[in-house]
Amino acid sequence: MGFSEVFIDLIWRLLANNWYFVLLNGHAHGYADNTIIFSSAESNSLQLIMDTLQEYERIYGQLINKRKSSFYMYNKVSNELIQQIEAVTGFVRGQFPFTYLGCPITHARKRKVDYTELLTKVKNSLQTWKGKMMLYGGKANNKDEGRSRHWPSWLNMCLPKHEGGLGFRSIFDMSKALCAKLWWNFRTSSSL
Are 158 and 180 found together in one domain? Answer: yes
Are 30 and 103 found together in one domain? Answer: yes
Range 152-171 burial, b when 16+ CB lie within 10 A, else e = eeeeeebbeeeeeeeeeeee
pLDDT of residue 51: 92
**CA 33 – CA 27 distance, rounded (Å):** 19
What are the CB-based long-range contacts (under 8 Å, 24+) for 14-18?
17/101
Are 58 and 10 found together in one domain? Answer: yes
Are 54 and 143 found together in one domain? Answer: no
SS3 state at 160:
coil
Most distant CA atoms of the chain, gap in Å: 77
Are 51 and 134 found together in one domain? Answer: no
Are 139 and 171 found together in one domain? Answer: no
For residue 181, which amino acid is it?
K
Are 129 and 92 found together in one domain? Answer: no
Are 171 and 124 found together in one domain? Answer: no
Half-sphere exposure at residue 179, Cβ-oriented, CA atoms within 13 angstroms:
6
Are 17 and 79 found together in one domain? Answer: yes
Reference 85, options 55, 53, 48, 42; nearest CA is 42
**CA 51 – CA 63 distance, rounded (Å):** 13
pLDDT of residue 103: 78
Tell me phi and psi for residue 93, to 5 degrees.
Answer: -80, 130
Residue 46's CB: how many other CB atoms inside 10 A?
20
Q: How many domains does the chain have?
A: 3
**CA 114 – CA 120 distance, rounded (Å):** 12
Q: Is the distance from CB of 133 to CB of 139 less than 8 angstroms?
A: no
Are 88 and 65 found together in one domain? Answer: yes
Are 131 and 183 found together in one domain? Answer: no
Structural domain that includes position 173: 152-192
| Residue where one domain finishes, among candidates 110, 134, 166 | 110
Reference 146, options 136, 157, 138, 137; nearest CA is 138
**CA 148 – CA 129 distance, rounded (Å):** 21
**Angle CA 23–27–33, to nearest 5:** 60
Q: pLDDT by residue for the chain (192 residues), tens digit each? A: 567 787 777 666 655 554 444 455 555 555 556 778 888 889 999 999 999 999 888 888 888 888 888 998 888 889 999 999 999 999 999 988 887 777 788 877 878 887 888 888 888 888 877 666 655 445 555 454 455 566 678 888 888 889 888 888 888 888 888 888 888 888 888 765
**CA 56 – CA 64 distance, rounded (Å):** 9
Are 75 and 18 found together in one domain? Answer: yes
